[in-house]
Amino acid sequence: MLSPDLGRVEHLCHLDLSGNSLSGGLPATLLNATELRMLSLAGNAISGAQPLEQRARGAAAYACGLPAALCRLPCLVVLGLASNRFAGKLPIEGLETLELVDLSGNGFNSSLPSDFGGARLHLLNILSNKLAGVVSTELAALVPANATVDLSWNNFTDVIPQDGPFAAQPTAAYEGNPNLCGPPLKQACSIPLSLSNPPNTTDSPSVFAAIPKNPARAPPGAPRQPRPSISRMRGS
């Protein structure tokens, strides 16, 4: 279990406790670490936000979620919570300062909020969760076009936005979502009868060849290697 004393460490900037056997919730005192720039807790068994959210709401309301207040820490740049036991909804807003966000290998089961992004975001990795619904075009306008986005092995549906970073991702970033369609996937979308100009559903344009290939992905439950972009930040 994470000690409440962590949030009382003066001038705490980097906290990397990844690859341990930590469990339980995130201590409320962690929100006192207003100078925290990197938080990496990947590869543990942390199961939620308790007691970061208001206790009056009841344990069932917040025991598994990702607290919005954590995402809004004023200096936080790296948030690495991969391969834990977080579940429930993703928070809305609050990613303005974040550059690397890795929430892969958890149990988030909400939709992807249309404002879950920010102008500084370089990596958004949410593979192997239970997220569902459409990927909004509003989100495409918030995330830089050169960002790496991984939505694979979820339950997303409908058309992949062709704006922002989404059109620039390789096919592997969308695999495991059988109801997604449109480039870079080869699965064509159904064309409504009212459309006079059907969308282009041809194979990926040649610009995809210049994008570095993502590591091989496995279905949920298979062992995963840490994201290299997160691990490189530890030495900074």
Reported as a single tens digit per residue, the pLDDT across 174-212 is 999 999 999 999 888 876 534 444 445 444 333 323 334
Tell me the Ramachandran region of residue 115: left when phi exceeds 0, alpha when psi lies from -120 to 50, beta otherwise.
Answer: alpha
The reported pLDDT for the residue numbered 50 is 53
Q: Mean pLDDT, to the nearest integer, of 222-231?
A: 49
The residue ranking higher by pLDDT, 50 or 133, is 133
| Averaged pLDDT of the chain | 80
Cα dihedral 111, 116, 117, 121 sign = negative
Q: Tell me how crowded residue 37 is: count the other CB atoms within 10 A of its CB.
A: 18
Higher pLDDT, 2 or 55: 2
Number of domains the chain contains: 1
- 9 has pLDDT over 80: yes
pLDDT reported for residue 56: 39
Confidence (pLDDT) at 93: 79
Render pLDDT for 28-61 as a digit per residue (tens, 0 to 9): 888 899 999 999 999 999 987 555 444 434 443 3
- In the chain, beta strands by DSSP E: 14-16, 23-25, 38-40, 45-48, 78-80, 87-88, 100-102, 107-108, 123-125, 132-133, 148-150, 155-159, 179-181
34 with 74: CB under 8 angstroms? yes
Maximum average pLDDT range among 90-99, 110-119, 221-230: 110-119
Q: What is the pLDDT of residue 177?
A: 96
Q: What is the pLDDT of residues 61-101, one digit of tens each?
A: 344 688 888 999 999 999 999 999 999 999 887 788 999 99
Phi, psi of 26 (to 5 degrees): -85, 130
Q: What is the CATH number of the domain that holds 87?
A: 3.80.10.10
Q: How does residue 213 score in pLDDT terms, banded at 50, 70 and 90?
A: very low
Q: Which whole number is the average pLDDT over 225-234?
A: 48
Domain boundaries, position 224: 4-233
| Across 123-148, average pLDDT | 95
Residue 234 has pLDDT above 80, yes or no: no
Helices and strands in the chain, H and E counts: 4, 13
What pTM does this model have?
Answer: 0.75
Confidence of residue 3 (pLDDT cuts 50, 70, 90): confident
In a 3-state reduction of DSSP, which class is residue 71?
A: helix
pLDDT in the model for residue 217: 53
